[in-house]
Amino acid sequence: MSKPAIFLDRDGVINKVVMRGKKEGSPRTLSEWQWEDGVVDAVNNFKQAGYLVFIVTNQPDIARELMTQETLDNFHKKVWNTLPIDDLMFCPHDNHHNCHCRKPKPGMLLDLAKKWDINLANSYMVGDRGSDIAAGKSAGCKTVLLSRPYNQSVTADQYIKVLKDLSCLLSNNKPL
């Protein structure tokens, strides 16, 4: 029987984005890493509500040689050691690689759905960028946007301010 899942983007959802000038980006060093407020409780609530939880993240700084694979691995060890997630996938490519896994393409979501027997129609993609929402829609998921100053023009099925807002809705079995 297919299961529901919550797919979470990493940067801007699990951890805070880093501002470089006027542009938001991913942390590139361990000292730049900061958890988003309430993320541990929210993920625990998703699990208690019966959802599988996955992280799907674009990490083009690998291809751009702005971050090492070792640093990325250390970030992801931190995630695995802190959050009760079921799986984590990342795309190390940049736009010009035209791979199937880089959001806004739905490759990571579709690969996880096949691997874990996920019912995508009963699942959610949670992100802070248009590419996250586009990937979720392309995969057939409901979409949830974490409202940020840099994403006011993005259209999603649901809008929340913090991840805890979604976990409260799901744990109370309220339809989105």
Q: Report domain extents, the chain.
A: 5-171
pLDDT band at 174 (very low <50, low <70, confident <90, very high): very low
Active site residue 37: no
Q: Decide if 11 is catalytic.
A: yes
In angstroms, the Cα distances linking 1 to 60, 115, 116, 117, 121 are: 35, 13, 11, 8, 13
**Residues ≥6 apart with Cβ < 8 Å to 94:** 60, 63, 64, 102
Mean pLDDT of 33-54: 93
Please tell me which residue in 11, 61, 128, 132 is annotated as part of the active site.
11
Class of domain 5-171: alpha beta
Q: How far is CA 18 from CA 29, 61, 137, in A?
A: 10, 13, 26
Q: Which of these is catalytic: 9, 61, 128, 132?
A: 9
Whether pTM exceeds 0.85: yes
How confident is the model at residue 171, as a pLDDT?
A: 60
- Tokens coding 152: 């006011």
Cα angle at 31 between 42 and 57, to 5 degrees? 50
pLDDT score for 168: 67
In the beta sheet, which residues pair with residue 90?
Answer: 57
pLDDT, tens digit, 9 for 90 and up, residues 104-136: 999 999 999 999 999 999 999 999 999 999 999
User: pLDDT per residue over 12-35, tens digit each?
Assistant: 999 999 999 888 889 999 999 999
Q: Angle at Cα 79 formed by Cα 10 and Cα 28, nearest 5°?
A: 60
pLDDT at 153: 87
Look at residue 41 and give its three-state secondary structure: helix
Percent of the chain with pLDDT strictly greater than 90: 71
Q: What percentage of the chain reaches a pLDDT higher than 70?
A: 95
pLDDT of residue 118: 97
